[in-house]
Amino acid sequence: MKKVLVTGGIGFIGSHTCVELLSQNYEVIVIDNLSNSQIWIKDKIEEISGKNITFYSNDVCDRNALIHIFETEKNIDSIIHFAAYKAVGESVEFPLKYYKNNIDSLLNLIEIAEKFQCKKMVFSSSCTVYGIPDSLPVSEQTPIKPANSPYGATKQMAETILNDVCRTGSLRSVLLRYFNPVGAHPSAKIGELPIGIPNNLVPFITQTAAGIRKSLSIYGGDYDTADGTAIRDYIHVVDLAKAHVKAIELLTNETEFQIETINVGTGNGYSVLEAVKAFESSTGVKLNYQIVERRAGDVPAVFADTTYANKRLNWKCEFGINEMMLHAWNWQKNLK
């Protein structure tokens, strides 16, 4: 079994990716500092998969901890790098926190991977690298615009670093530019677990439906869209997790390329109000919501052209918006 190091593997996307890796018989090594996750998620990953993971409660910014993991595990074949701060609004408020964590962790990982001859990395990038695109849908050829937030800037910088490093031949990488991951595992055993007030739409929806929040705040009702609310490409987290396994397979089976950049979304854009209506129709639960001022760093509309992902990864999404919302709600109910 090939060993895959998953940074941030107890988090939302990381935990679902661990499940998919285990289902394909990879040996999974996880490093997670639990700053935005809970240790009991490890047990749920193992419960769903029927297999064990090796877990290290460390920070990727800690060079000595990373060296220890590589020395202990030996022959780590590839890396999936999720570990990063990810809230757009928070990054505007605390930019240095984002630059230091997101860039330092990547530099550490690359340097130590080189030291131990681990030459394959799947990187968790983001559609935020496109800034406010001139046209939609967004393809891999869409020009990179100035980032709308420090979070987006860290993803642009990380891509630049990886492109430069991969050109030297010491590393090969697949950059997956995510759109908006939502939902939860159909088992309702793992899902999005924000600490404190959610930064993302769907957990705010489910917490409002559960009575944890008094009302849902929709940031901006005056965008140049059909209903005035922002448009996003929501992708089920299980579909996204499977794309990571396909990216590892691509790196393993095709050795002639140094770096690939691939958009990972559904190709469908839904407004925030459409997402709210999808939740209400799929669950039968009515939401109390209010439209408030726009949030710093948000773009009006973005959704993916998935042509290249479907072809290059031999992958496509299986879940629709109603299933995304239903699975997220089942997960929320299971947390009570």
What digits encode the pLDDT tens for the residues 143-155? 999 888 999 999 9
Look at the block and give the residue holding tokens 């005056």.
222
In a domain, 173, yes or no: yes
The pLDDT score that the predictor gives to residue 94 is 97
| Structural domain span for residue 93 | 3-182+235-266
28 beta partners? 4
Q: What pTM does this model have?
A: 0.96
Packing angle between helix 63-73 and helix 95-115, nearest 10 degrees? 30
> In CATH, what number is assigned to the domain containing residue 92?
3.40.50.720
Cα–Cα distance, 36 to 8 (Å, whole number) = 9
**What angle is formed at CA 235 by the lines to CA 129 and CA 264, rounded to 5 degrees?**
45
Q: Reduce the secondary structure of 140-178 to three states and give it as a string.
A: CCCCCCCCCCHHHHHHHHHHHHHHHHHHCCCCEEEEEEE
Ranges of the chain with pLDDT below 70: 336
The Cα 122–Cα 31 span in angstroms is 15
Strands 231-232 and 270-271: antiparallel
Per-residue pLDDT at 274: 97
| Residue 30 main-chain phi, psi, to 5 deg | -115, 135
Q: What's the pLDDT tens digit per position in 213-257?
A: 999 999 999 999 999 999 999 999 999 999 999 999 999 999 999
Q: Which residues contact 165 (CB under 8 A, 6 or more apart)?
A: 110, 171, 173
72 backbone φψ class: left, alpha, beta (φ>0; ψ -120 to 50): alpha
First-last CA distance in the chain: 37
Known catalytic membership, residue 151: yes
How far apart, in whole angstroms, are the C-alpha atoms of residue 329 and residue 75?
40
User: What is the Rg, in whole angstroms, of the alpha carbon atoms belonging to the chain?
Assistant: 19
pLDDT value of residue 50: 98
In a domain, residue 216? The reply is: no
Among residues 98, 151, 234, 270, the one annotated as catalytic is 151
> Does 31 reside within a domain?
yes
- The pLDDT assigned to 97 comes to 97
- Asked if the structure places residue 44 within a domain, the reply is yes
Pick from 38, 33, 34, 7: which is nearest to 191 by CA?
38
Closest of 230, 15, 263, 18 to residue 126, by C-alpha: 263
Residue 88 lies in a domain: yes
CA-CA-CA-CA dihedral for 160, 85, 219, 93, to nearest 10: -90
Amino acid in position 5: L
pLDDT value of position 195: 81
User: What three-state secondary structure class fits 76?
Assistant: strand
Identify residue 327 by its one-letter amino acid code.
Answer: H
* Domain assignment of residue 313, yes or no: no
- Beta carbons within 10 angstroms of residue 150's beta carbon: 21
Do 269 and 136 contact (CB within 8 A), yes or no?
yes
Q: Do the domain assignments include residue 128? A: yes
* Closest-CA residue to 306 (of 249, 246, 252): 246
The reply to whether 274 falls in a domain is: no
Phi, psi of 161 (to 5 degrees): -60, -50
Q: In whole angstroms, what is the distance from residue 48 CA to residue 201 CA?
A: 26
Report which of 51, 69, 58, 77 is spatially closest to residue 10, judged by C-alpha positions: 58
Question: CB-hemisphere CA count at 13 Å for 51?
Answer: 16
Number of domains observed in the structure of the chain: 1
